[in-house]
Amino acid sequence: ETGVTQSPTHLIKTRGQQVTLRCSSQSGHNTVSWYQQALGQGPQFIFQYYREEENGRGNFPPRFSGLQFPNYSSELNVNALELDDSALYLCASSPPDRGYGYTFGSGTRLTVV
Amino acid sequence: DQQVKQNSPSLSVQEGRISILNCDYTNSMFDYFLWYKKYPAEGPTFLISISSIKDKNEDGRFTVFLNKSAKHLSLHIVPSQPGDSAVYFCAASVAVASQGNLIFGKGTKLSVKP
């Protein structure tokens, strides 16, 4: 298994800007989820994509959006960044038969100043 | 309102002894529970899970116990090893409806002393 790769590892953005975070999943992992982990908190579900369609969403505003591509890569886009968006963003993927055996990437640490 | 609570932010245990990490939940609809382990600068790693139709699941040194009436689960690590030192997250889900939505606790940092 090649694992789940996220880029970049660290990022600093200014309030009001837009950011795109990327995730590369393992071949065959057609389910990808994105989580936000604020300091001292557990990961919080943003949304899930299955076969390039969003099929589940947590309590996040529409300025958080995503894309999933046929090559098992995906993106998380955040518009109009706010200071509270500063967090670790985690991508997790799973093959069809693994249920909740998600494989997480190491995350992207986003700092909004 | 936290649906999954890990009330101990940290736990220190001697090598070779048992580590017991606790987790409480409030949503009676949860029917699937997982434990993840996280090292610094790495993503969470799946450890063990349990369905609500069971009260115990064992995998090597790791055992998860579920008490549905008390809405409580615990992770036992026996024997504890220094390499087990990490942050442990409890997570829960309503499997049918969740579509990937795992609800995580805040985590417990386990330190295993040699």
Alpha-carbon B23 to chain mean position: 7
Task: Determine the residue among B104, B106, B109 to mutate to test chain A binding: the one whose Cβ has the most chain A Cβ atoms within 10 Å.
Answer: B104
- Longest CA span, chain A: 41
What is d(CA B23, CA B75) in angstroms, rounded to the nearest whole number? 8
Q: What mean pLDDT do residues B26-55 have?
A: 92
Percentage of residues of chain B with pLDDT beyond 90: 83
Gap from A53 CA to chain B (nearest CA, Å): 12
**Ramachandran quadrant class, B26 (left: phi over 0; alpha: psi -120 to 50; beta: rest):** alpha
pLDDT attached to residue A2? 59
Averaged over successive runs of 10 residues, the pLDDT of chain A (113 residues) comes to 86 98 88 93 93 90 96 95 97 76 91 97
Q: How far apart are CA A18 and CA A57, in angstroms?
A: 20
pLDDT in tens, B44-94: 999 999 999 999 999 999 999 999 999 999 999 999 999 999 999 999 988
Q: Spell out the residues 6+ positions from residue A106 whose beta carbon is closer than 8 angstroms to its own.
A: A6, A9, B41, B42, B43
A103 and B46 in contact by Cβ < 8 A? yes
Smallest CA–CA distance, residue A23 to chain B, in Å, is 13
Give the nearest partner residue to A45 out of B42, B45, B101, using CB atoms: B101
Contact A44/B104, CB-based, under 8 Å?
yes
Alpha helices in chain A (DSSP H): none
Chain B residue numbers with beta carbons less than 8 Å from the beta carbon of A38 are none
Of B91, B99, B106, the CB nearest to A56: B99
B49 near A CB under 8 A = yes
User: Alpha-carbon distance A67 to A104, whole Å?
Assistant: 17
User: What confidence score (pLDDT) does residue B96 get?
Assistant: 57
B44 at interface of A, judged by CB pairs closer than 8 A = yes
Looking at chain B, the whole-number percentage of residues with pLDDT higher than 70 is: 95
Q: What number of helices (H) and strands (E) belong to chain B?
A: 1, 11
pLDDT of amino acid A71: 87
